[in-house]
Chains A and B, each alone.
Chain A
């Protein structure tokens, strides 16, 4: 029997949901609004909301001063590359953990997750030295490797939980049908886990895109992604709020748009396995 919900109740729920949604979205909205203000209006007290002289000046200044496309391209390569590489390594790893678990599989999974509990700054020094020795400083390749390693535990964990949902029988049937291990993973496991793999990819692109600690510390000019682009506009005196906002808007726009179009997959990915 369906639960009866009165119209009044529905209205209240809708209003509350919108209020919470707006509250969460407000900082982003404020950043976008500020990016269209002049520097003076941006720091006006009391702050102005909608009624100011809208201007695109900040965007043109930002574009003049720094090459947005180069940062964007670096972000795409670093986020995309680290995710792709991570998936290639994590699919076989998660396959073996889900379908041929050993005595220590659970421990390995927990240990992998525990590496995420270590504050990144704790290993900054050794990794920085390693990067110098290997000549990886300020290289996109170096960042792809580091971000892949940082996010690998999450990728393996997510894929592991998706793979666990796939009945073992089906993989055994593939084996009986003459499939090699490669064919089994390629033709049976991967297509069946595709929704899960897709949401893992999405989440990891977002994580890598927004990662600021390593990208800021290990790059200078050549490999600097959009996070460095934003940082270059922040100054301790806070005099250039409008330009900083414009830079931020430009940096988050691509990932925001991607997230908007793939929200179905994202939500499915996050609730996958909760209900049969």
Chain B
């Protein structure tokens, strides 16, 4: 079991309020990603759940039990840190065995569990090594091994992949997703990378300045953003957000249209513009167009659409894909 519920959780450091008030419901077995720009309070929120920070007010329930005042060691959660936080003076074996030793399990059980975890994580050949003798990816796997042997009710990941290089990051992303599929344990994952959020999450929590901007599945957030912040944050390249006359024509303060929802033509269309930069990725081409009277617009076209800097193009947004926002930044539906 591993359901977690936050009720009006507030955190202040002195006079600075980091998290004004958060309510959140995480179901058992869910993969939840906290995403947001740096300084949005996502790591703080995770540390509050872990118990490494005390809440200023509000309550945290783990499996419907009030855990607000329970110390981190007793919450039954496991955490994987950005810096891996392995014990440098212990071998890989002892690192993974540490939580079991703290739980006073007998030697035979410890050995069985450590070797089992090492097997799953491809670490069997490295059990005698020290963390200093391992690569970044291996260290991260040791950190995950240390977390899984405890059989926690939930895993907490604090930006676990940001110290790895790009190729390794993609592999580890898949490994963590597979791990979630096989363990079916609740996972809370903090990242600033919206690609990680989109690819891994069952449920994404977008945070902005300590407030929850929107909660939903990746596709919900993508296709129905509640506000300008989510619209701009989720999706790569970013959604085009246009205001002025073009928005007023559609009874909105701002309209948003994703690059892939703009049809391009060399002959005719709703908006006329000049190609500033054309990024040819092979399968797709991203065009950065200066549209007359509208501003900078990014559009995605087929890789075979042959245009270059300075060419004139015509763009037509797909009407049903246009997102409308009011002056306060909230979606109009």
How many of A's residues come within 8 Å of B, CB to CB?
Answer: 18
With CB as the reference atom, state the residue of chain A lying closest to B102. Answer: A178
Q: Is A176 touching B89 in the complex (CB atoms < 8 A)?
A: no
Q: Is A175 touching B85 in the complex (CB atoms < 8 A)?
A: no
Q: Is B150 touching A177 in the complex (CB atoms < 8 A)?
A: yes
**Within 8 Å CB of B74, what residues of A?**
178
Q: Select B88's contact among A176, A177, A180, A192, beta carbons within 8 Å.
A: A192
Q: Is B89 touching A192 in the complex (CB atoms < 8 A)?
A: yes
Q: How far apart are A240's CB and chain B's nearest CB, in angstroms? A: 52
Q: Which of A179-214 touch B at CB < 8 Å?
A: 179-180, 183, 187-188, 191-192, 194
With CB as the reference atom, state the residue of chain B lying closest to A173. Answer: B85
Determine, out of A11-19, A78-86, A164-172, A248-256, the stretch whose residues face the partner at the interface: A164-172
Q: Select B83's contact among A169, A175, A191, beta carbons within 8 Å.
A: A169
Q: Is B79 touching A178 in the complex (CB atoms < 8 A)?
A: no
Taken together as a complex, chains A and B put the C-alpha atoms of A167 and B86 apart, in Å, by 10
**Within 8 Å CB of A175, what residues of B?**
52, 71-73
- Is B16 part of the binding interface, using a Cβ–Cβ cutoff of 8 Å? no
How many of B's residues come within 8 Å of A, CB to CB?
Answer: 24
**Within 8 Å CB of B146, what residues of A?**
173, 177
Q: Select B102's contact among A170, A183, A192, beta carbons within 8 Å.
A: A183
Q: Select A179's contact among B73, B77, B82, B85, beta carbons within 8 Å.
A: B73
Q: Is B79 touching A170 in the complex (CB atoms < 8 A)?
A: no
Q: Is B102 touching A169 in the complex (CB atoms < 8 A)?
A: no
Most B C-beta atoms less than 10 A away, residue of A172, A183, A192: A172
With CB as the reference atom, state the residue of chain A lying closest to B101. Answer: A187
**Within 8 Å CB of B85, what residues of A?**
167, 169-170, 172-173
Q: Is B81 touching A173 in the complex (CB atoms < 8 A)?
A: yes
Chain B 79-117 interface 0/1 with A at a Cβ cutoff of 8 Å (1 = within): 101110111110000000011001100000000000000
- Is B78 part of the binding interface, using a Cβ–Cβ cutoff of 8 Å? yes
**Within 8 Å CB of B73, what residues of A?**
175-180
Q: Is B99 touching A170 in the complex (CB atoms < 8 A)?
A: no
Taken together as a complex, chains A and B put the C-alpha atoms of A226 and B140 apart, in Å, by 55
**Within 8 Å CB of B81, what residues of A?**
169, 172-173
Q: Is B83 touching A179 in the complex (CB atoms < 8 A)?
A: no
Q: How far apart are B25's CB and chain A's nearest CB, in angstroms? A: 23
Most B C-beta atoms less than 10 A away, residue of A173, A174, A180, A187: A173
- Is B228 part of the binding interface, using a Cβ–Cβ cutoff of 8 Å? no
Taken together as a complex, chains A and B put the C-alpha atoms of A191 and B81 apart, in Å, by 21
With CB as the reference atom, state the residue of chain A lying closest to B143. Answer: A173
Chain A 131-171 interface 0/1 with B at a Cβ cutoff of 8 Å (1 = within): 00000000000000000000000000000000000010110
Taken together as a complex, chains A and B put the C-alpha atoms of A191 and B94 apart, in Å, by 13
Q: Is A170 touching B87 in the complex (CB atoms < 8 A)?
A: yes
Q: Is B83 touching A167 in the complex (CB atoms < 8 A)?
A: yes
Taken together as a complex, chains A and B put the C-alpha atoms of A201 and B202 apart, in Å, by 54
Taken together as a complex, chains A and B put the C-alpha atoms of A176 and B147 apart, in Å, by 9
Taken together as a complex, chains A and B put the C-alpha atoms of A191 and B95 apart, in Å, by 14
Q: How far apart are A82's CB and chain B's nearest CB, in angstroms? A: 28
**Within 8 Å CB of A192, what residues of B?**
87-89
Taken together as a complex, chains A and B put the C-alpha atoms of A175 and B156 apart, in Å, by 14
- Is B50 part of the binding interface, using a Cβ–Cβ cutoff of 8 Å? yes
Q: How far apart are B33's CB and chain A's nearest CB, in angstroms? A: 20
Q: Is A179 touching B88 in the complex (CB atoms < 8 A)?
A: no
Q: Which of A56-108 touch B at CB < 8 Å?
A: none
Q: How far apart are A103's CB and chain B's nearest CB, in angstroms? A: 10
Chain B 278-309 interface 0/1 with A at a Cβ cutoff of 8 Å (1 = within): 00000000000000000000000000000000
Give 10 nearest A-B pairs by CB, closest first.
A173-B85, A177-B99, A169-B85, A178-B102, A176-B79, A191-B89, A178-B73, A175-B72, A170-B85, A169-B83
Q: Can you list 15 A-B contacts (CB < 8 A)?
A: A170-B85, A172-B72, A172-B85, A173-B86, A175-B71, A175-B72, A176-B52, A176-B77, A177-B73, A177-B150, A178-B150, A180-B102, A192-B87, A192-B89, A194-B89
